[in-house]
Chain A
């Protein structure tokens, strides 16, 4: 089991336990290691259609895990440019490699991503350290 407090520096975070990072003009989005530990084994990912648009914090997909169900939000406003099709057959990638092969979708942001969008790794780490 990976260290659930693992929070890489190379990306930004949301208070709702998503990570996101700019890749060219697009933004790659996933859930954090802490989130996948809390959620437990993911068994189904209800991936959004490519082209779906969402406001910032708008719901984009649902994750069903053994224990519970949770929504995943768009960290910034935008349009879904691609989804991780691998998750249709291998939802466990989210548990095994949340920051890599377990990415969820790519967004074409409505506005260029500013450098201080969301939380820094340090800010997110402080948030999960304070969790009950």
Chain B
């Protein structure tokens, strides 16, 4: 048995020494199948990707995402710095709000996607403070670019040694967190965040904002944001690395299933979410990737001119969803897409959908072939498999499982 290149493999050479997250002992205690990923040793699964996938779609599961870059940007000109580098206008982000954004090069090509959250109280004496979470493989590059462009009044911090992140995801995630930690999460809207008391404190059940620079408040709080990568109700918990193991064990005791990178990949693919380094790698713009809604043209950012030019002349290719209804045909990253006998594009993410029980893929195809209902084929190791262009997400919200 030999393994073909897996969809989870990191581009580029493997580093000599892998880093471990603060949850490393937890993963081994729960029989995580550990694999190298973006320079970190991470669990691929704890027994079954499909079971973990179902737990998140039907009840609740959680992921160690402490390998993601954990950056802070703080100072009077922090909003200007972030606005200059990101497709989101950071000066419009109010305290407690999160935003998904792209960091582009001068050609408008995506270097990374990330979530930024304004964590200071706002309006007071303290300067604006943001937590910025890029992908693991891009964290150093994002940090360096922000560092290069900053004014002396603003600092860029990197907190992966001191902070861990757990993504608690699934329809029962809120009930589980409220039950386990005594928090009241009903008031926390999608893409909002607050500091919640940790350890749980009677009388302090709602989230608030603090003017201490991140990660200071984590000594007595967890930063909880209503964000995720699964398309389900879910929360991401930032905590001191020393307490991460105990919090993870509490989640298990409360009925949440530990989930690995494998389920993280199948869950995000069903929702049509992009994977950095795979669906873009400094070669595609947000317009080609169909992410126009995350580009705010109300401010001046690196790459804006190139995007405006592309808007005017049109994109060369568009990211589409492909459904392969033959259950024996599973598309994989890098496979060719054809229209008749003509090359039409390339699969960037592909795999088996546990919810739909057939193969699905994201692929860049020529614009005339990108409308829903177009019949294409994917070359799966020499075999032509029928593929239909379908609207994204593959699995809409509220679909019965």
Residues of A at the B interface (CB closer than 8 Å) are: 1, 4, 16-18, 31, 35, 37-41, 43-44, 46, 62-64, 66-73, 92, 95, 132
Contact = CB atoms under 8 A, between A and B. Distances in A.
A44 B48 contact: no
B47 interface: yes
Contacts of A132: 36
Interface in B24-76: 31, 33, 36, 44-50
Contacts of B3: 38-39, 68, 70
Contacts of B265: 67
B330 A64 contact: yes
A70 B1 CA distance: 6
A16 to B, nearest CB: 5
B48 A67 contact: no
16 contacts: A1-B31, A1-B48, A39-B3, A40-B48, A44-B328, A63-B1, A66-B50, A66-B352, A67-B49, A67-B262, A68-B7, A69-B332, A70-B2, A70-B4, A72-B1, A132-B36
A16 B1 CA distance: 5
Given A1-B31, A66-B351, 14 more contacts: A1-B46, A1-B48, A4-B33, A18-B1, A37-B33, A41-B50, A62-B381, A64-B328, A64-B330, A64-B352, A67-B44, A67-B262, A71-B1, A73-B1
Contacts of B2: 16, 70-71
Nearest to A64: B330
Contact of A44 (B8, B33, B47, B330): B330
B77 interface: no
Contact of B49 (A4, A40, A73): A40
B173 interface: no
B44 A40 contact: yes
A132 B31 CA distance: 17
Given A1-B31, A43-B330, A67-B6, A35 B48 contact: no
Contacts of A4: 33
B354 interface: yes
Nearest to A46: B328
Nearest to A95: B48
A20 B24 CA distance: 35
A37 B261 CA distance: 14
A118 to B, nearest CB: 13
B340 interface: no
Interface in B323-341: 327-328, 330, 332
A49 to B, nearest CB: 15
Contact of B1 (A1, A17, A64): A17
Contact of B262 (A40, A43, A69, A72): A40
B285 interface: no
Given A40-B262, A67-B44, A31 B4 contact: no
Contacts of B8: 67
B266 interface: yes
B354 A66 contact: yes
Nearest to B53: A66
A99 to B, nearest CB: 14
Contacts of A72: 1
Interface string B129-154: 00000000000000000000000000
A81 B205 CA distance: 66
Interface centre among A38, A41, A67, A132 (most CB of B within 10 A): A67
6 smallest A-B Cβ distances: which pairs? A1-B47, A68-B6, A17-B1, A41-B50, A66-B49, A64-B330
A31 B8 CA distance: 22
B247 to A, nearest CB: 23
Nearest to B47: A1
A35 B50 CA distance: 17
Nearest to A45: B328
B336 to A, nearest CB: 16
Contacts of A71: 1-2, 4
B325 to A, nearest CB: 14
B250 to A, nearest CB: 22
B330 A41 contact: no
B1 A69 contact: no
A40 B45 contact: yes
Given A16-B2, A63-B1, A66-B354, A44 B50 contact: no
Interface centre among A17, A66, A69 (most CB of B within 10 A): A66
Contacts of B31: 1
A41 B49 contact: yes
Nearest to B352: A43
A25 B262 CA distance: 41
